[in-house]
Amino acid sequence: MRQGMQPGDMSPGPNMTMKHKTPDQLEEMHFRSVLERLSPNQGAQMLRYGWQREGVISLAQGEGSCKTPDFIADAAYKALQDGKTFYAPALGVPELRQEIANYYEHLMGISLPTSRIFATGSGTTAMHLALTSILEEGDEVVAVTPIWKNLLGAVELTQSKIVQVPLEAQEKGWQLDLEKLFDACTTKTKAILIVSPSNPTGWIMPEHEMKEVLEFARDRNIWIIADEVYHRLTYDRPYAPSFLEICEPHDRLFSVNSFSKSYAMTGWRLGWLVGLAESESVIRDIALYDNMGPPTYAQYGSIESLRHGEAFIADQLKLWKINRDKLRAYFDSKGNILWPPSEATFYSFFKVEGEPDCLSLAKRLIDEAALSLAPGCAFGKCCSGWLRLCYAVSEDKMDEAIKRLDTVIG
């Protein structure tokens, strides 16, 4: 300790000149230039705007209203009591990695070695690990949009270029033109980013299209990054098709997943990543510089979610289907709302005729109806005029939200 300094005294010494900088000198300081070029996160901005208003019903954020089931929380609490509070392996405790492998075996009938499975501190972290491991400055990523803004931002942070290929809204649902997707790829394309089931549209990529994309990517040594976070939130099948069902162990594929949506664990920040056979050491090295892995005790709650969570998922889907049907009935009764049917997730992505400015409409809904929705322009260039509504709430809240919505667009 410097002579004359007392414990807790944080006054700067001779080499700590921040305190003595003038305002002009402070203006010379800057952060990474890429941060100045990040596209604005209009969804987050509107969400914060809604939080400032009393009595607002917020259906703008992507999470359900159910709390984490007791059997999951109890397992984490027991882990705390048992002293599982120390550092764990950066890619997850062996028990969790094995349980994820068991999950795929039981659900899809596919066998994955635990060396390809990496537990992460959220699905978002899994995406960052995947992107950081393969992207260089100047690479291109072809992304199917609409897409969650955080994924676009994660690509921007790597200083790679995003090329957006939009889904097409049709009466029977959303469609992807594969020729447009393939035409968007160039010699600079490092990865194709696909979210299926899609946030915000609920679109599910059919398996035959996955096979075409996989063959295309193989021929050109392009990576596929498949965000499959919503793969259990389907209404007409046990799960959505996965690239993991059709890939080979050495294919250039990362599959991102999360405990957040299916098991009501958004605040736990736990996810996982499945990579190709050679990626384990690379992902481990990056994870060590990130956060050294997910919280130890929380991983034991995740183990229980995979072992005993099927009934909880089924109960949530029953509620969400009721709310989805209520929205469909309301939209159909209006005649001025475009809403391609959603096959999965807990979102409605819709467009109101005569309302081209989704930011203005979202703000009016907050100001005039105390209802917060996410503006579509946050999900890609193709989405101006659209709104995303999360219907993973109680029936009573859904009924009230529809009433409030109708006061503005009715």
Residues 253-305: tens digit of each pLDDT: 999 999 999 999 999 999 999 999 899 999 999 999 988 999 999 999 999 99
Asked whether residue 3 carries a pLDDT value surpassing 50, the answer given is: no
CB burial readout 326-352, b (16+ within 10 A) else e: bbeebbeeeeebebbebbbbbbbbbbb
Q: pLDDT confidence of 8, banded at 50, 70, 90?
A: very low
**Cα atoms found within 13 Å of the Cα of residue 235, Cβ hemisphere only:** 18
pLDDT in tens, 216-236: 999 999 999 999 999 999 999
Q: Return phi, psi of residue 408, to 5°.
A: -100, -40
Are 349 and 339 in contact, with CB atoms under 8 Å apart?
yes
Question: Domain extents for the chain?
Answer: 42-68+311-409, 84-309
Angstrom CA distances, 51 to 47, 59, 346, 400, stand at 6, 11, 21, 18
Asked whether residue 402 carries a pLDDT value surpassing 90, the answer given is: yes
Distance (Å, rounded) from C-alpha 241 to C-alpha 229? Answer: 12
Share of the chain above pLDDT 70, in %: 93
Predicted pLDDT at 307 = 98
Looking at residues 179-193, what average pLDDT do you find? Answer: 98
pLDDT in tens, 11-40: 333 343 445 555 555 566 678 888 888 888
**DSSP SS3 for 91:** coil
Tokens in use for 306? 């995979």
Distance (Å, rounded) from C-alpha 319 to C-alpha 334? Answer: 23
Are 47 and 60 in contact, with CB atoms under 8 Å apart?
yes
Q: pLDDT confidence of 202, banded at 50, 70, 90?
A: very high
Tokens in use for 364? 């009016």
Tokens in use for 96? 């969790």
Predicted pLDDT at 27 = 61
According to CATH, what is the number of the domain 84-309?
3.40.640.10
**Cα atoms found within 13 Å of the Cα of residue 241, Cβ hemisphere only:** 13
Asked whether residue 251 carries a pLDDT value surpassing 80, the answer given is: yes
pLDDT in tens, 110-119: 999 999 999 9
Predicted pLDDT at 16 = 37
Of residues 52 and 87, the one with the higher pLDDT is 87
pLDDT in tens, 42-64: 888 888 988 988 999 999 999 99
Tokens in use for 187? 């010699």
Q: Tell me if the domain spanning 42-68+311-409 has CATH number 3.90.1150.10.
A: yes
